[in-house]
Structure 1
Amino acid sequence: MQQQTNFSILKIVALLEGTSLLLLLLVAMPMKYMLGVPEAVKIVGPIHGVLFIVFNLVLFSHAIKGHLGFFTTMTGFFASLIPVGTFIFKAKMLKA
């Protein structure tokens, strides 16, 4: 009998990573280029970068432990590269 895997940390990080990307694209970058406030990107950019790395580390750690298959892992990685991708990944692929 296979053990149920708890993906709660991966789900939380997916939401944080997706939210940080949307904040970067929809708030910080318009503030920089339309309002001349580059500090927004200097704050949100590195936060998003760290969350992107953390999401992928958690994702691949689940894969290495055998909790996620190759297809699901690669889907999660590519989802992290597009806006709202991690939201969709969380909803569709992490039902456990």
Structure 2
Amino acid sequence: MMNTALGRFRVIGIIEGISYLVLLLIAMPLKYYLDFPDAVKVAGSLHGLFFVLYILALAHVTFKDRWSILKVIVAFIASLLPFGNFVLDARLKKEQ
């Protein structure tokens, strides 16, 4: 799976999606309900790193596989929505 640009993009997308959900569903409640702001600092930093890797992988797969601008925009928007990366991954798996 990690042998192709698309495979790497899919793996990074799943990791980025998980980090986003951890940030939203675990770290944010810990910060606001249990007064533990360090959870957001750690989860937010990791998610930021994974988001940058996602964008770099998106650029790589765009040029390597000659994706259309519409497909790139959909992939970018998917990264902003909770569970969006998982839906995108399911579609990309069908194409692969």
Identify the TM-score tier after normalising by the shorter chain: 0.7 to 0.9
For 1:92, the equivalent position in structure 2 comes to 91
Aligned runs of 1:45-60 on 2, under 5 Å?
A: 45-60=44-59
Compared CA separation, residues 71 and 25, structure 1 to 2 (3 A): same
**Number of aligned residues:** 92
Compared CA separation, residues 6 and 53, structure 1 to 2 (3 A): closer
Deviations 1:67-94 (A, max 9, x none): 4222211110111111111111111134
What's the Cα RMSD here?
Answer: 1.4
- The answer as to whether partners of 1:79 and 1:86 remain within 8 angstroms in 2 is yes
- The answer as to whether partners of 2:5 and 2:61 remain within 8 angstroms in 1 is no
Structure 1 range deviating more: 53-62 or 11-20: 53-62
Q: TM-score scaled to structure 1, two decimals?
A: 0.87
Structure with bigger helix share is 2
SS of aligned partner of 1:65: helix
Structure 1: give runs of 5+ residues left out of the alignment. none
Aligned runs of 1:75-90 on 2, under 5 Å?
A: 75-90=74-89
Deviations 1:36-65 (A, max 9, x none): 011100100010011111111101111122
For 1:30, the equivalent position in structure 2 comes to 29
For 1:9, the equivalent position in structure 2 comes to 8
- The answer as to whether partners of 1:72 and 1:93 remain within 8 angstroms in 2 is no
Runs of 4+ off more than 6 Å: none
Q: TM-score scaled to structure 2, two decimals?
A: 0.87
Percent same amino acid among aligned pairs? 36
Structure 2: give runs of 5+ residues left out of the alignment. none
